Chain A
Amino acid sequence: MIDEEKIRKDFPIFDKNINGKPVVYFDSACMSLKPRQVIEAMNEYYFDYPACAGRSSHRLGEMATKKVREARQTIAQFINARSEKEIIFTKNTTESINLVANSLDLKAGDLVLTTDKEHNSNLVPWQVLSSKKGIRHKVVGSDADGTFDLEKYKKMVKGAKLVSVVHTSNLDGTTIPAKEIIKIAHENGALVLLDAAQSIPHQEINVRDLDVDFLAFSGHKMLGPTGTGVLYGKYQLLEKLEPFLVGGDTVEYSTYKEHKMLLPPEKFEAGLQDYAGIIGLGVAVKYLQLVGFDYIKNHELKLNKYISDELSKIPKIKIIGPADPALRSGIISFYIEGMNMNQIAVMLDNMSNIMIRSGRHCVHSWFEARGIINSARVSLYFYNTMKEAEIFIESIKKITQII
């Protein structure tokens, strides 16, 4: 049995008040809070063994190497990778996607498919390659309710070289049927890159079960430190990829004329890494495993259902995505026709210390296509409470009274 109060004690921000009121943090899709354990692990690195990993052979260096390896193993085990060698540390999901985009042998005419709800990090790289290399980039449109249109996809995937899709949308929280999409892609000879930035903090991901080729995610959305990310890749694919960032610690040796690259994952991790961050990410993963995804999913659904039900009673408010909260992870994205939702977000902050995100959530393309100004997004996590959800609803009701 998970103790909600005990969990909240692990997150220092909940000890603080702003203007005499507690903070209601509903912006975890952008940045999750960090438990003390993660912060302490990072501090421990800086205090006790602040050395280079994988290079120095002194005791501090050995300790750093050991801790980084442990983090890599933890993450590999967390997503059920075959080997820790399939885990590449990056800065974030964006860098992970860019690594694939720039390392995969994509040529003029090669087709890359994405969904219509991609974050700019999984849209712009393909647009750039389209103009630089002449690859073809096509967008699979969603169904009317915002869910993935499998039939449309089946038609479009033929001849595709890569399917690069967002697993759970940061816009509306919908999760695509990844396993089926991957199976269809493979049947059509396409590789699949899954943007798991919003899914991995909230649900179990098993890369072997999914049979996904590449998986990209960020540490900062899953209790980990900022500036940490991961690219998982099947080892045989990683071996074939050419790193787009090279230099220190990516080569076995070099002469003035040549060099020999190391094997994955080292060949993709050029330069000194964010060891404290990586170690913190490892601890974050362990924390998530301790809490467990069953609890996370049930807790988020309970809160999402309450908020969605209450928002649905307010006529002015429209929720983006499927009506069923169970299909929207921990996200409730809503808007009021003709209104700039930035004002609502600022009002919630100023009246009740409620921190939500507003804007286009780096999915400008979706809003542009639909003529919606922007949306306000509540993104929940397991450390949020029903009391906070009630404060939010009370505040939003007050706001809708005056607008």
Chain B
Amino acid sequence: MICIIALVVFSVMGIFSATHRALAKEALDCIFRRVTFRPCNTGFDERMKGMIVGRLINKSVLAARFVNKYFEFLSWGFIVITLVSGFYTIQGGYNFYLYGSCNGLNQSGFCAFDPKGENNKITDISQTCGTEEKSEKNVSLNGVDLSSFPTKNVGSKDTVVLIGCYECDYTRKAYPDIQKLVREKKTNYIFAHYPAKENTNFLSEVGYCVYKEYGERFWAFNDYLFTVDKVQIYQPDYINIILKNFDFNVEKINNCINDPATIQAVDYQVSQLKKTHLYGTPTVFINGEAFVGPKPYRVYKSVLNKFIFF
């Protein structure tokens, strides 16, 4: 049984050394013989056992005796460990492909494929809100009224909801991918601004009013807010310049913003967003499934693919 372990170990080592490549080949031959019900008479297993026990005996006779006596048992043990770790490696790879994290959707534990956890980084909203338990299990659109948020492609079978913050780096990272997804898959798309930091609260009202007054023209304005220098969008005066550049009636928008009905409507929107139990931005819902943090494009796309890869 040492052949299986040897194959795995020497295959990896064989990437760097020709000697180990030859040993891996021998191990494979040995396995092939075993699975075809022929004896492994190449002497490979004895050689491996001899090498291990021979080196060990100089360090500890007791340990050498133990390894020699239970070599087959230990080999099986290593096989089980290899299989289990192989299973978790494959599962990790699968999760990484589908969810951008080895540990599963929205799980932020260590992932060898994403060691810095880039795919799970969020702008934490708890600092300002701090009312909900931070758990991906609770994040849901159930009972959330999104009817007042900017929406396009109404009537599509798939729905993408992006809850993001104009000044949040991670929303800015995810934003182009979401736009691409909506464009390619022609999904129903709802955008909700959730100010993770308080200094962009007023932008919720700006966005609400632009959408209310100018409908579809809102989207170009929205795209721009995600590309412009985020330091500048903290300043209402600069927003006015932008509104003007987009040929919006600045006065009209400001009147809308100052309208108590708008304040009430935006408060209602925020209250609805809080119902999702979101704990950071961006949070993306694709057909109701929540993705917290900026995932690679393939992750968003695979949800909408008929099959995983296409």
Q: Do A and B bind each other?
A: yes
Stretch in A210-218, A318-326, A394-402 touching the partner: A394-402
| Complex-state Cα separation, A345 to B51, whole angstroms | 9
Q: A348 and B46: CB pair below 8 A?
A: no
Q: A346 and B50: CB pair below 8 A?
A: yes
Q: A402 and B47: CB pair below 8 A?
A: no
Interface string of B65-78 (1 = CB under 8 A from A): 10011000000000
Q: B53 and A402: CB pair below 8 A?
A: yes
Q: A343 and B55: CB pair below 8 A?
A: no
Is the interface on chain A under 10, 10 to 19, 20 to 34, or 35 or more residues? Answer: 10 to 19
| Complex-state Cα separation, A349 to B64, whole angstroms | 15
Q: B47 and A399: CB pair below 8 A?
A: no
Interface string of A182-224 (1 = CB under 8 A from B): 0000000000000000000000000000000000000000000
Q: B54 and A402: CB pair below 8 A?
A: no
From residue B4, how far is it (CB to closest CB) to chain A in Å?
19
A401 proximity list for chain B (CB < 8 A): 61, 65
Q: A402 and B61: CB pair below 8 A?
A: yes
Interface string of A318-353 (1 = CB under 8 A from B): 000000000000000000000010111111111100
| Complex-state Cα separation, A401 to B60, whole angstroms | 12
B43 proximity list for chain A (CB < 8 A): 340, 342, 359
From residue B1, how far is it (CB to closest CB) to chain A in Å?
15
| Complex-state Cα separation, A403 to B64, whole angstroms | 9
Interface string of A351-379 (1 = CB under 8 A from B): 10000000100000000000000000000
B49 part of interface (Cβ distance < 8 Å): yes
What number of A-B contacts does a CB cutoff of 8 Å give? 49
From residue A20, how far is it (CB to closest CB) to chain B in Å?
11
B-binding residues in A (CB < 8 A): 340, 342-351, 359, 398-399, 401-403
From residue B229, how far is it (CB to closest CB) to chain A in Å?
63
Overall SS of chain A's interface: helix
Asked if A351 meets B68 with Cβ closer than 8 Å, knowing A343-B49, A344-B50, A346-B50, the reply is no
From residue B265, how far is it (CB to closest CB) to chain A in Å?
79
Q: B51 and A346: CB pair below 8 A?
A: yes
Is the interface on chain B under 10, 10 to 19, 20 to 34, or 35 or more residues? Answer: 10 to 19
- 16 more A-B residue pairs beyond the given contacts A346-B54, A402-B65, with a C-beta to C-beta distance below 8 A: A340-B43, A342-B43, A342-B47, A343-B50, A345-B50, A346-B50, A347-B54, A349-B54, A350-B55, A351-B55, A359-B43, A398-B57, A398-B61, A399-B57, A402-B53, A402-B69
Q: Who on chain B is nearest to A402 by CB? A: B65
| Complex-state Cα separation, A36 to B69, whole angstroms | 44
Q: Who on chain B is nearest to A350 by CB? A: B54
Q: B49 and A402: CB pair below 8 A?
A: no
Q: Who on chain A is nearest to B47 by CB? A: A346
| Complex-state Cα separation, A345 to B65, whole angstroms | 17
Overall SS of chain B's interface: helix
From residue A401, how far is it (CB to closest CB) to chain B in Å?
6
Q: Who on chain A is nearest to B53 by CB? A: A347
Q: B61 and A350: CB pair below 8 A?
A: no
B53 proximity list for chain A (CB < 8 A): 343, 347, 402
| A–B pairs, 5, beta carbons within 8 Å | A343-B49, A344-B50, A346-B51, A402-B65, A402-B69
From residue B7, how far is it (CB to closest CB) to chain A in Å?
19
B36 part of interface (Cβ distance < 8 Å): no
Interface set, chain B 26-57, CB cutoff 8 A to A: 43, 46-47, 49-51, 53-55, 57
B58 part of interface (Cβ distance < 8 Å): yes
Q: A346 and B46: CB pair below 8 A?
A: yes
B64 proximity list for chain A (CB < 8 A): 402
A344 proximity list for chain B (CB < 8 A): 50
| Complex-state Cα separation, A351 to B68, whole angstroms | 14
Asked if A350 meets B68 with Cβ closer than 8 Å, knowing A340-B46, A343-B46, A402-B61, the reply is no
Q: B55 and A402: CB pair below 8 A?
A: no
From residue B305, how far is it (CB to closest CB) to chain A in Å?
53
Q: B54 and A351: CB pair below 8 A?
A: yes
Interchain residue pairs A-B with the least CB separation, the first 6: A346-B50, A350-B54, A347-B54, A402-B65, A343-B46, A343-B50
A340 proximity list for chain B (CB < 8 A): 43, 46
A345 proximity list for chain B (CB < 8 A): 50
B49 proximity list for chain A (CB < 8 A): 343, 346
From residue A143, how far is it (CB to closest CB) to chain B in Å?
31
| Complex-state Cα separation, A399 to B61, whole angstroms | 9
Asked if A342 meets B57 with Cβ closer than 8 Å, knowing A402-B65, A403-B68, the reply is no
Q: A350 and B51: CB pair below 8 A?
A: yes
Interface set, chain B 255-277, CB cutoff 8 A to A: none
From residue A227, how far is it (CB to closest CB) to chain B in Å?
24
A402 proximity list for chain B (CB < 8 A): 53, 57, 61, 64-65, 68-69
Q: Who on chain A is nearest to B55 by CB? A: A350
| Complex-state Cα separation, A22 to B65, whole angstroms | 25
Q: Who on chain B is nearest to A354 by CB? A: B54
From residue B57, how far is it (CB to closest CB) to chain A in Å?
5
